[in-house]
Amino acid sequence: MQLYYYSLSDVGNVRSHNEDFLFSGRVKGDGYLFIVADGMGGHSSGEVASYKAVAGFVKAMRKGIGKNVPEAMRRIILTINDDLIHEGKRSAKDKGMGTTLSALYIKGDKGYFAHVGDSRIYRYSNSGDGGDKGTMVQLTEDHSLVGRLLKDGFINAEEAQNHPKRNVLYQSVGLKKGIEVQAMGPFIVRDGQKFLLCSDGLNTELRDSEIKEFLALKSPRRIVEGLITEAKQRIASDNITVIAVSTEIGGTDEMTRPVDTVKVPVPTKVKMKLKRKRKRVLVLILLGIVLALLAAMVYLLVKNTQGVTPPDTIDQRSKSEASGQ
């Protein structure tokens, strides 16, 4: 099955930097991975958390995950959670950093996902299979206080959309141990289906019914750009990240091959850490070269002086020979 996809992350209308991070592309063989992570923690810690989470997940998936895909994806997130907690303890600036993480993996005609937080994965179908033509369902649960109230039936969807604490999470990646990862699959990926991954910067501004209207479009690029444009016409106080994945060619404006993700820059803080690390390595290499040269010089000096009679000895021997002794 051929996939067509498009990805984009936007800073929004209010914030000065982007704490979201994404990935979309092939990871191994015919397996495709799509991830949205929404960082939190203040300063630049949020963007570090989301970047590290996505990079760690992609690296683990490329190594191979075995046959039990949902369990493997769950364990990857738990490992990333431990790593971020450890990172937060090492640095006072990064203490309290965390991120949501929603990952969709498609291999052949089978799909899997793993999720923590309140970023979302939707599935839209217009194939007509099973009577689900033109339907959209949210595959992931919102791990927020409002999401739990909605799930337990204490509030309805309208009240959840407008609740003042809708962005308060009860679990995310990197803040505490013992998180519960929602991991599911395999489920059949059919022709005519689309998947949408997004940070809450999108669904805070747009209702599900509005998101569904855009998913009726064929072009993944038009879906993504249209959703972000529409969200930015509202308040758009948060970063907005969207990935659209389709099993059908997206119209004449789309390329007849998968469209790779728009590259999101590596966070500045991560760049600085890598730059300092490279500088330390370079200094150590230069220091090693200098020490090696000094050792070689000492060795040559010692070697050249072996077997040479000291000047005082030569004078004494000459005087002895002259006196007939």
- Whether 100 contacts 137, CB under 8 Å: no
* 186 Cβ contact partners less than 8 Å away, ≥ 6 residues apart: 69, 110, 111, 112
Mean pLDDT of 264-271: 54
CA atoms within 13 A on the CB side of 296: 6
Q: Answer whether residue 166 shows pLDDT above 50.
A: yes
Residue 322: what pLDDT? 43
Give the Cβ contact number of residue 316 at 10 Å: 11
Mean pLDDT of 218-230: 95
**DSSP string over 96-148:** T-EE-EEEEEEETTEEEEEEESS-EEEEEE-S-GGG-TTEEEE-S---BHHHH
In the chain, what percentage of residues exceed pLDDT 90? 54
| Average predicted confidence (pLDDT) for the chain | 83
Residue 292: what pLDDT? 81
User: Which amino acid does the sequence have at 130?
Assistant: G
The encoded tokens of residue 236 equal 């758009």
Q: Answer whether residue 1 shows pLDDT above 80.
A: no
Residue 323: what pLDDT? 45
Mean pLDDT of 6-10: 95
- Whether 70 contacts 119, CB under 8 Å: no
Q: Which residue has the higher pLDDT, 6 or 161?
A: 6
pLDDT in tens, 273-299: 556 666 776 777 888 788 888 877 877
Rank 123-132, 140-149, 212-221, 271-280 by mean pLDDT and report only the highest.
Answer: 212-221
- Whether 137 contacts 212, CB under 8 Å: no
Mean pLDDT of 308-325: 45
In Å, the largest CA–CA distance within the chain is 125
- Whether 38 contacts 291, CB under 8 Å: no
Cα-to-chain-centroid distance, residue 205: 24
In the chain, what percentage of residues exceed pLDDT 70? 80
CA distances from 287 to 171, 274, 293, 299 (A): 46, 20, 10, 18
Mean pLDDT of 187-201: 95
